[in-house]
A = this chain, B = another copy of it.
Amino acid sequence: MSAADFPLIGAAAQRARAAARVLRTLPTDVKDAALTAMADALLARTDDVLTANAADVAAAAAEGTPEAILDRLRLDAARVAGVAEALRALVALPDPVGDVVRGSTLPNGLQLRQVRVPLGVIGIVYEARPNVTVDAAGLCLKSGNAALLRGSASAFRTNTALVAVLTEAAEKTGLPAGSIELLPADRASVGELLGARGLVDLVIPRGGASLIERVVRESRVPVIETGVGNCHVYVDAAADPAMAEAIVLNAKTHRVSVCNAAETLLVHRDVAFLPRLLTALADAGVTLHGDATAQAAHPAVVPATEEDWATEYLSMDMAVRVVDDLPTALEHIARWGSGHSEAIVSDSAAAIAGFTAGVDAAAVLVNASTRFTDGGEFGFGAEIGISTQKLHARGPLGLPELTSTTYVVTGSGHIR
């Protein structure tokens, strides 16, 4: 495969590959200087960005785009300052490149070191939010990778302005051209990106289930699945009532549109405070979709179908199922969960141990809200998404997760 096979993205991918060969050798201070210059440039040229963004928002509004989507697309001076601040925060994070993951001197005297190296060229496919353009470019750069950014058509003017500002600042500090490339927002450019084996080292889709499904189905380039969170909170027989209520309410209602929000409540049948728990949720404005036992426990509960167990609502809805025991809860999670975040509320060490051992997910939360599954909350700094796959990286994807490793083996004429 060569760049000519990819009319929409080939030239940009080729530039990114060339840039990646330089980026992988850059010392941390050069990358940090570029990040700082990029942050400064965003502040200095906020007006250019806002002008382009206003045109995008006006065009989207003219097409009848709902206000919730317009709000995700819209930038203002404060939001631009926020993404500039996020770039500065990356400067403060340690550079993973060059870290020695393991090392030893073998019995024959060979010195073995496993060293972190950048992945190379990373493609990111994402939806309306223009802040992802800046976040993804910054994370890729700090980890020594070139970024191929494929944002949505609705944000194309904004993304063009942002990338112009970022690349000009980066190149002034000595970064190679091609370090940050914005791809055309044509529908076909995603297909090219997913087929660009040998040109692109990794594609990260950031978006809904249908985008991720397409990427997994089509891609010949390695991908990391992110973001689908059908998360459960299991309230055990031995749960403290007040703690259970606080965690369930927080997991469901703190921010409903995010992947670490809870979607299904599983409650042990011996939980006597179930009616009170359901009342608290209903009072908070949550629509409850429950099985027969849940319906019997509270008049606000409407009947649930299998569809409800499968759904990532991302809204003020919650499915409720009453289970006979922990194994039934684990079966439910294994059948319907998306492997993101699963929480248990319990004072029983045995139940906690059983839940922790039995759940196969990126994160298991014990007496804590699912909302804590987050790179920032985990203390990793910025994240590019939350992986729900088992290979390479599971959970929040920070800077180390954007690297690979090389074994460097040093001898003095060693042969076998």
Contacts and interface: CB of A to CB of B under 8 A. Distances in A.
Given A120-B390, A202-B391, A356-B408, A416 B371 contact: yes
Interface stretch (A30-38, A174-182, A246-254): A246-254
Contacts of A368: 110, 409-411, 413-415
Contacts of A408: 356, 363-364, 366
Contacts of A201: 390
Contacts of A246: 413, 415
Contact of A372 (B364, B371, B414): B414
Nearest to A222: B391
A158 interface: no
Contacts of A372: 110, 409, 411, 414, 416
B365 A411 contact: yes
15 contacts: A21-B334, A117-B360, A242-B413, A247-B415, A250-B416, A365-B409, A365-B410, A365-B411, A366-B409, A366-B411, A367-B414, A368-B410, A378-B407, A391-B392, A394-B407
The A interface is mostly helix, strand or loop, or mixed, namely mixed
Interface in A261-309: none
With a 10 A CB-CB cut-off, give which of A250, A359, A416 has the most chain B CB atoms.
Answer: A416
A407 B254 CA distance: 21
Nearest to A243: B413
Nearest to A104: B379
A369 interface: yes
Contact of A216 (B220, B357, B363): B220
B24 A357 contact: yes
A361 B224 CA distance: 21
A60 interface: no
Interface string A383-416: 0000001111011000000001111111111111
A414 B372 CA distance: 9
B334 A406 contact: no
A394 B403 CA distance: 11
B366 A415 contact: no
A394 B389 contact: no
Contact of A222 (B25, B366, B389, B407): B389
Interface in A30-73: none
A172 to B, nearest CB: 24
Contact of A362 (B216, B406, B413): B406
A192 to B, nearest CB: 16
A133 interface: no
B222 A197 contact: no
A191 interface: no
A251 B405 CA distance: 23
A378 B106 contact: yes
B415 A377 contact: no
Given A363-B407, A368-B410, A373-B407, A415 B254 contact: yes
B357 A390 contact: no
Nearest to A330: B21
Given A360-B117, A390-B222, A412 B197 contact: no
Given A224-B391, A363-B406, A391-B392, 5 more contacts: A356-B408, A363-B409, A368-B409, A368-B414, A391-B404
The 8 closest A-B pairs by CB, nearest first: A368-B411, A250-B415, A390-B404, A368-B414, A243-B413, A392-B392, A363-B407, A366-B410
Interface in A130-144: none
A112 interface: yes
